[in-house]
Structure 1
């Protein structure tokens, strides 16, 4: 007679045993520490809710601030209006929008336009304060900060403080994290030095510009001033190596 076929008993796999073992340990721990587990779970849920709300709130805040900034920009530029008679009223509204946007979320662009609006409203001192706050708070910004330093120098110049303007232009020229406005800084520095009668220093600024920034829109004017001072066969380029070192600093 054929032998009856015995049913094989399948042994639980190692992985399955480990899962069951872990589950049993967790269950035992939970039974013995119900209160603690509930507290931890509650804290995790609260943290998750707080993080989700924070993300949602910041996103909404950014959107509202961006809307206010854009509305302020339109008012500042006078877009979609042809009534110049109400320019001051329009600028005041733009200022309020930039101020409100900054309270929601600060940014270098908003600070810059706030300062521009203050300047156009005749509030030069307030504009300087805003610009100095910008360059201090966002010193690593390589695009907006050079513009802000240039505007600071021009306001200082308008206020008659030429020495302060020269220092600001030097700071602009020596910015290490930005290649922008260096030729502008040299040209404006040269002009101010000329007005102060410091022709040798002015000439040096123009020479650095000519030697280091041949593509600059100020190149031709600076070169003309050098030739005017030294003549057509002047000493243009004699300090070229030294001038390039000045730019690299």
Structure 2
């Protein structure tokens, strides 16, 4: 403690500090190249880290900008030539974004957008492939998960692969998220009818009436049940 030190010790402490500072300065002067190099490395690391962060933001922005541009081009072509031709003429644009920005938000969004475009063009094989890869990008609690599962169900139905369509619609029904659950119940009723499983089809139609009385499909299903 300073209060317990005598005058001689107190006078000696500044000399020790000056001596240490002098030694430190002499060391820096003597080894200035090495010290400046070390300092330069530290500053370079700071610049690189900051640059990576900035670059990351820039890359995200760029990926979304390219996706928006590709979508705008698709929409124009779709109006002029229809979904099939628009798909053919924009697939390189979307694939380039997906390949280059696979880990970026824009790249993942482009994959979903391109899957929708493939579906509209009735290229169901391509749609299935893209939707499955999009599903891998999502966490289990993602709000988009049921939308992708539903899209896979519709895509497999487009391929007349009703067993796989049933599989993906059932994943929604059995999941925790309520989004599109009534749609999935309705779609399972349709799919089982196409599979000529009429009892199973009616089971899901009745499930819709009992559990989702506010569903947009309710009037249609009530009419179907009453006619059966």
Q: TM-score, normalised by structure 2?
A: 0.75
1:192-221 per-residue CA deviation (whole Å, 9 max, x = no partner) reads: 112333222222212221222222101122
Structure 1 residues 208 and 39, CA gap change in structure 2 (3 angstroms): farther
**Cα shift readout 1:54-92 (whole Å, capped 9, x = no counterpart):** 12222222222111111122223338x85337x655433
Which of 69, 72, 81 is 1:71 aligned to? 69
Q: Is the 8 A contact 2:84 2:122 kept in 1?
A: no
Question: How many angstroms apart in 1 are the aligned matches of 2:21 and 2:219?
Answer: 80
In 1, the alpha carbon distance for the partners of 2:174 and 2:25 equals: 64
1:5 equivalent in structure 2:
none
Q: Which runs of 5+ in 2 are unaligned?
A: 1-12
Change (3 A) 1:197 1:169: same
Matching residue of 1:42: 40
Compare the two structures and name the one with the higher helix fraction. Answer: 2
CA distance in 1, matches of 2:88, 2:21: 65
Q: Is the 8 A contact 1:75 1:91 kept in 2?
A: no
CA distance in 2, matches of 1:27, 1:148: 69
1:57 aligns with 2:55: yes
Q: What is the TM-score when the length of structure 1 is the normalising length?
A: 0.70
Cα pair 1:172 1:181 within 8 Å, conserved: yes
- Alpha-carbon distance between aligned partners in 1 of 2:218 and 2:19, rounded to the nearest angstrom: 81
> Shift of residue 151 of structure 1?
1.8
